[in-house]
Amino acid sequence: MSSPRLTETSYIVLGLIAQIGPATPYDLKRLAQVSTVNFWSVPHTQLYSECARLAGEDLLSERREQTGRRRRTYRLTERGREALERWLSEPTSELEQVRDTATLKLFLGGDPQQLAPTQLQAHRAQLETYEQIYGSFVGDAPQGWRLALEAGIDHERAYIRFWSRLAGQRAREGSPARSR
Amino acid sequence: MSSPRLTETSYIVLGLIAQIGPATPYDLKRLAQVSTVNFWSVPHTQLYSECARLAGEDLLSERREQTGRRRRTYRLTERGREALERWLSEPTSELEQVRDTATLKLFLGGDPQQLAPTQLQAHRAQLETYEQIYGSFVGDAPQGWRLALEAGIDHERAYIRFWSRLAGQRAREGSPARSR
DNA sequence: CCCTATATAGTTCGGATCGAACGGTGCGGA
DNA sequence: TCCGCACCGTTCGATCCGAACTATATAGGG
């Protein structure tokens, strides 16, 4: 049991199982791919190790098939549900962490005019994907899913505005060949 | 020399040195803290190891004080500058990666009304910081710095709009006690 | 009924990343 | 002189990450 030391990844596992019921790591993997990826990416191998770890902490219970693939199915324990509820009810003042290669290039001196078209295309495609998913939620999706997706859509729109602005700008002031 | 295998972190190092001239890892650390953190965070220990690695690849040259702190100062080699220029001139279609604890809580069922005030406060403070830095750039900051910061400001505004919307909403539909 | 192709499911392993913690160095002031 | 703090640099173990691989199930063709 010891000191739990739960990370965000732990709560993704606990939280998804809470929403969909008993699941295998593989189920979680597929689910994470379409839902969570937007604001928290987890490599799939970690879902396997994380489930095992949480089972060791008695936050999940594990049942394993005796034959064939010997799949492990996990479900929430009472302790697990408590830990999740506790975490969910605490607000956080933590800010987002972002890693964006294109902005980095811009920062280090990349040419806006050259970067913008590619980024615009990528972000427009992403926005379209999100909107499609959003459209497929009728009333059945949990509130949290809708809200998180709305946040993602907002951000894609912000990126599109940003890169559009750069694309639409004449080569910008005399731009003295800085640095060196 | 071998196969360089450069990561984004590598280019941050090369790029910052290109902009400010010869520097120690400690210089880079302080600089990164105030400039890059917005769209790419690098833990400071990695700056030390990364500089050493790049020197091994002949992309940086290293000179070390013979006495006292024995600081290592790095400067760009010709090869380093070429590698940097090559990377900067390639557009990328990669999208941002985000990790945002608050959105995660929302997604997993956290109460919007409860999360919003804390997030609003945090994002407002962050926006203010950015705007202050932006104000301190008169005309002297490189174009990339201004643009990257503008992107950061756009995103903070998006977050503020988003959380404001949630804060300002009556406890939302009957919100059937979903899940379980 | 067997063979192959494809989707599903799970694991291994080495390298990259991370950050807490620690150990020196230099300087200003008592 | 020597104390204390800010500055500077590094070590180390833990975690994270993902490419690559193995194994299982199933469906369709012959």
For residue B69, give the nucleotide whose C1' atom is nearest its CA. Answer: C25
| pLDDT at position A91 | 92
DSSP 3-state assignment of B72? Answer: strand
Chain A residues touching residue B159 (CB < 8 angstroms): 96
Are A107 and B15 within 8 A, CB to CB?
yes
Q: Are A23 and A100 in contact (CB under 8 A)?
A: no
Task: Tell me the chain B residues in contact with residue A148 when contact means C-beta distances shorter than 8 Å.
Answer: 103-104, 106-107
CA dihedral B149, B152, B153, B154 (to 10 degrees): 120
Q: Which residues of A touch B119 (CB under 8 A)?
A: 91-93
Angle between helices A44-56 and A8-20 (to 10 degrees): 80
Candidates A8, A108, A156: best to mutate against B (most CBs of B within 10 A) is A108
Instruction: Write down the pLDDT at residue A122.
Output: 93
CA distance B11 to A75: 44
Nucleotides on strand C lying under 7 Å from protein C-beta: 8-13, 16-21, 24-26
Highest mean pLDDT among B52-56, B100-104, B172-176: B100-104
Residue A65 pLDDT exceeds 80:
no
**Residue B142 burial (10 A CB sphere; 0-12, 13-18, 19+):** middle
What does the DSSP assignment read for chain A?
Answer: -------HHHHHHHHHHHHH-SB-HHHHHHHHHHHTTTT----HHHHHHHHHHHHHTTSEEEEE-SSTT--EEEEE-HHHHHHHHHHHTS---PPPEEE-HHHHHHHTT--HHHHHHHHHHHHHHHHHHHHHHHHH-SS-S-HHHHHHHHHHHHHHHHHHHHHHHHHTS-S-S-------
Of A12, A110, A154, the CB nearest to B88: A110
Tens of pLDDT, residue by residue over A51-60, are 989 988 889 9
pLDDT band at B175 (very low <50, low <70, confident <90, very high): very low
Q: Which of B118, B147, B179 sits opposite A91 (nearest CB)?
A: B118
The pLDDT of residue A175 is 39
**Spatial distance between the Cα atoms of A110 and B144, rounded to a whole number of angstroms:** 7
Q: Which residue is nearest to nucleotide C12 (CA to C1')?
A: A45
Let me know if A104 is exposed, middle or buried by CB neighbors in 10 A (0-12, 13-18, 19+).
buried
Q: In which residue are the tokens 């700008």 written? A: A169
Does the nearest atom of strand D lie within 7 Å of B25's Cβ? yes
Give residue A1's pLDDT: 44
**CA A114 to CA A148: how far, in whole Å?**
32
Secondary structure of residue B74 in the 3-state scheme: strand
B2 falls in which pLDDT band (50, 70, 90)? very low
Of B93, B158, B175, nearest to A118 by CB-CB distance is B93
pLDDT reported for residue A177? 38
From B49, B55, B59, B56, select the one nearest B83 (Cα to Cα).
B59
Q: Which of the residues B7, B103, B118 would you substitute to probe the A interface, choosing the one with the greatest number of A C-beta atoms within 10 Å?
A: B103
Protein CB footprint (7 Å) on chain D nucleotides? 8-12, 15-20, 24-25
Q: How does pLDDT run across B53-63, given as a tens digit for each residue?
A: 888 888 998 88
Cβ(A162)–Cβ(B150) below 8 Å: yes
Residue labelled with tokens 């199982």: A17
Q: Is the CB of A80 under 7 A from strand C?
A: no
Residues near B31 by beta carbon (within 8 Å), at least 6 away in sequence? B16, B20, B23
Pairwise pLDDT comparison (B170 vs A123), residue with the higher score: A123
Q: Which pLDDT score, from 0 to 100, does residue A71 have?
A: 83
Residue-level pLDDT at A102: 93
